[in-house]
A and B are shown apart, each in its own frame.
Chain A
Amino acid sequence: MKRTEILDKIIIDKGDKIALKNRAQIDKAGVLALNLIGSPGCGKTTLLERTIAELHDPRAGSVPLKVGVIEGDVQSNLDRDRIARAGAPATQIQTGGACRLDAAMVEKALPQIPLDKINILVIENVGNLICPTGLKLGEHLKIAVISVPEGDEKPAKYPTVFVRSDAAVITKIDLLPHLDYDLDRAATDCRKLNNRIKIFPLSAKTGEGIDAWIEYLRRLSGANRPARRAPAELKEPRRTAEQK
C-alpha cells in the first residue's frame, strides 16, 4: 500500500479551455462578443431587438453594424424567433434545465452563426443573475442587465455579476415615474463593487438613453477589427492580473 500526498494544487478547469477556443474563433473573424447576464424578464431580449435596429440603421457618419445572437433558455425557441424577426441571424441553445450556458454549449452553437457576416455577437445567457457569472464562454465583455421594476438593491444583493461585468445596463427607465427606484443608489452600488463599470440607464421602449449604449458598442466593435490592435479593455486585464 502506497500513500501519497499530492502537493501541487489542482486548479479545476471550469470550461476555460473551450472558452479560449471560442474566443480565438471569434477574434479571427474580428467580431466583438458580449455575454448578456440578467434575471428573467429584465428585458434582455427587448434590449437586443432595439440594439439590433439601432446598429443596423445607418446614421449620419456611421456604418451599419451587423449583430448575430446566440440565445440561451431552459426551453423554447421564442427568443431566437424574436431576434430573427428583428433581422439578425440567431440560434437557440435549450439547456433543458441547466441554469446557465457553458463554453461547450456555445462551441456547438457557434457554427450556426455566420461570424464572417457580423460585427457583434451577443450571447444572451439563461435568465439568471447568479449562476452565469462564474463561467467564461469566449466573450470579450460581460454585460449585466437589471431593470427598474426589480428594485434598486439588486447590485447590493447580487454583487458578483457586477464585480465581473464591464458594463451594467439599467432597463425600463420609462417606469421610473411609477416606481420607487433610486437610480443613484443602484449606480453608486455598482461602482462600489467595480469602479470601472460603465453604467447605461435606458429605455428600449422609448429610446431614452439608448444613444450612449449604442455609441459604446460602436466604439468597442471598431476596436476589435483584426486590422487594429485590441485596446487594453478588450484583453480582460483584470482576469489576467487576478491569476497572478
Chain B
Amino acid sequence: MHELSVAESICRSVSERVGDARVEEMVVQVGALSGVNRASLEFCLGEAAQVTGLKLERFSVERVPARARCECGETYEADELMQPCPRCGGFSRSFINGEDIVVSKLVAVEENDEAN
C-alpha cells in the first residue's frame, strides 16, 4: 500500500500550483508501468487531501496503457505487458511510456472575491 504516499505527493504538487483555491475537478492518469493501483490511489486521494489541506471536490483516477515501439517500426498499446507486436509477432520492443503519474485535468476555483 504505497498509494497513500503517492496520493500525498499529488496533493502537494497540486497545492503548490493552485494555492488556496478549491479544486473543483481533478483527473489523475496512472501509467500501466507506474506501479500504482488505480482504485487504491482513488481511495487514498480523499484521505491525502485532508492530511495536506487541499480542498478537493471531484476527482478520478484513470489507468493509461503502456505504449510500445517495436523494432519493426510498429507502435502499439500494450495493455498486457507480455503482448507481442501485432504486426510482426515479435518481442523486440521498448516501452515508450507508462511510467508516469500525471494530473491531466485540473479545474481550480478561487473564492477570494467573495470574501471581500
Contact = CB atoms under 8 A, between A and B. Distances in A.
Contact of B101 (A12, A164, A238): A12
B103 A99 contact: no
A5 interface: yes
A133 B81 CA distance: 14
A164 B104 CA distance: 24
A102 B9 CA distance: 13
B72 to A, nearest CB: 13
B13 A242 contact: no
B23 to A, nearest CB: 10
B14 to A, nearest CB: 7
B70 to A, nearest CB: 10
Nearest to A134: B35
Interface residues of B, number: 43
A161 B10 CA distance: 23
Given A1-B114, A131-B2, A238 B94 contact: yes
Nearest to A128: B2
A189 interface: yes
A199 to B, nearest CB: 14
Interface in A123-138: 130-131, 133-135
Given A2-B113, A9-B102, A134-B35, A99 B96 contact: no
A191 B101 contact: no
Given A12-B9, A241-B94, A1 B106 contact: no
Contact of A14 (B17, B101, B113): B101
B14 A192 contact: no
Given A1-B113, A100-B2, A242-B94, A9 B35 contact: no
B75 to A, nearest CB: 12
Interface in B7-27: 9-10, 13-14, 17-18, 21, 24
B14 A195 contact: no
Nearest to B14: A10
A58 to B, nearest CB: 39
A24 B84 CA distance: 37
A241 B104 CA distance: 21
A13 interface: yes
B62 interface: no
Nearest to A238: B94
A165 B97 CA distance: 16
A131 B34 CA distance: 10
Interface string A185-202: 000010111010000000
B35 A13 contact: no
A189 B82 CA distance: 8
B2 A98 contact: yes
A4 to B, nearest CB: 5
A11 interface: yes
A131 B113 contact: no
Per CB-CB distance, the 9 closest pairs between chain A and chain B, nearest first, are: A134-B35, A10-B103, A159-B81, A12-B101, A6-B106, A2-B110, A192-B91, A5-B107, A9-B102
Interface of A: 1-6, 9-14, 98-100, 102, 130-131, 133-135, 156, 159-160, 163-164, 189, 191-193, 195, 238-239, 241-242, 244
